[in-house]
């Protein structure tokens, strides 16, 4: 009998804290081995990232506003480049429209 195995998830998720408070909170949920400092990403810049599961990522995304957390979300597929994927989870704040006279 052949045992079915679950296919490997090709995605790796990362959080980039944008302030010290957020960094401490993320560090409490991730192990020290998950810290990835000065990682070159697809945008050409180096970022300090925490590798985490998508489940942890979703928890942080859901509590971002009420907990006043500041972070970016990055994703890597297989062995490709690490890309910023904030657009998947957060909408840009639209400015107030000016009234035309």
Beta bridge partners of 71: 17
pLDDT averaged per 10 residues in sequence order, the chain, 101 residues: 72 95 94 94 95 93 90 93 85 63 51
Instruction: Say what the pLDDT of residue 65 is.
Output: 83
Burial category of 47 from C-beta neighbours within 10 Å (exposed 0-12, middle 13-18, buried 19 and up): middle
Q: So what's the pLDDT on residue 46? A: 95
CA gap 49, 74 in Å, rounded: 8
| Residue 76 pLDDT | 95
The whole-number pLDDT of residue 23 equals: 96
Q: What are phi and psi of 16, to 5 degrees?
A: -115, 105
Residue 60: what pLDDT?
93
């Amino acid at each position: 009998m052949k045992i079915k195995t679950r296919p490997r998830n090709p995605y790796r998720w990362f959080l980039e804290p944008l302030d010290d408070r957020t960094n401490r909170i993320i560090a409490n949920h991730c192990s020290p081995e998950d810290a990835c400092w000065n990682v070159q990403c697809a945008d050409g810049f180096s970022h300090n990232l925490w590798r985490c599961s998508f489940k942890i990522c979703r928890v942080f995304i859901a509590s971002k506003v009420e907990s006043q957390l500041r972070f970016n979300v990055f994703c890597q597929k297989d062995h490709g480049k690490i890309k910023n994927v904030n657009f998947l989870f957060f909408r840009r704040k639209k400015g107030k429209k000016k009234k035309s006279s």
